[in-house]
Amino acid sequence: MRKKAEILVVDDEEIVRLSFARSLKSEYCNVETACNGQDALQVMGERAFDVILLDLKMPGMNGMVILQTIKNRWPESEVIIITGYPAVETAKEAVKLGAYDYLAKPAGPDDVINAANAAMLHKRWMLRSAHQPSAV
């Protein structure tokens, strides 16, 4: 039996957090929310998350700083940037910093579910590959 995916939704807008959490919550995953970067990092310090949905523009810490911190401290976590201010430059920077995906708001339930599922599959494949002996 496969363990439930642990997903963290980080967004300063309550309606967005609740909407994403409702879309993702199922028998296959646990979803937690945080309203800012500081809270997200605190929650992540207490337990591991497989996938983080991260807003870029929030009061306090910038989303890129949070992304960089997550990838430095928890490199196995997959991060999906979801922003209401999409730009090619920020998408490039996010990918360079280790983001798995980049979505523009408004992101519908199917977009969020598909991105989270793809990130989870990618993580499982990467972990499996890391534990496989390399062929000579």
Mean pLDDT of 79-108: 94
Q: Look at residue 50 and tell me whether its pLDDT is greater than 60.
A: yes
What whole-number distance in Å separates Cα of residue 29 and Cα of residue 4?
5
Mean pLDDT of 45-56: 95
Q: Where are the domains of the chain?
A: 5-131
Tens of pLDDT along 94-112? 999 999 999 999 999 999 9
Alpha-carbon distances of 75 from 17, 70, 123, rounded to whole Å: 23, 7, 10
CA dihedral (108, 110, 115, 118) in degrees, to 10, reads: 180
**Dihedral class, residue 19 (left if φ above 0, else alpha if ψ from -120 to 50, else beta):** alpha
Local confidence band at 1 (pLDDT 50, 70, 90 cut-offs): very low
Mean pLDDT of 90-97: 95
Type of residue at 79:
V
Q: 5-131 maps to which CATH number?
A: 3.40.50.2300
Provide DSSP, 46-85. HS--SEEEE-S--SSS-HHHHHHHHHHH-TTSEEEEEESS
Tens of pLDDT along 20-38? 999 998 878 899 999 999 9
Is the sign of the CA dihedral 104, 108, 111, 112 positive or negative? positive
Entry pTM:
0.89
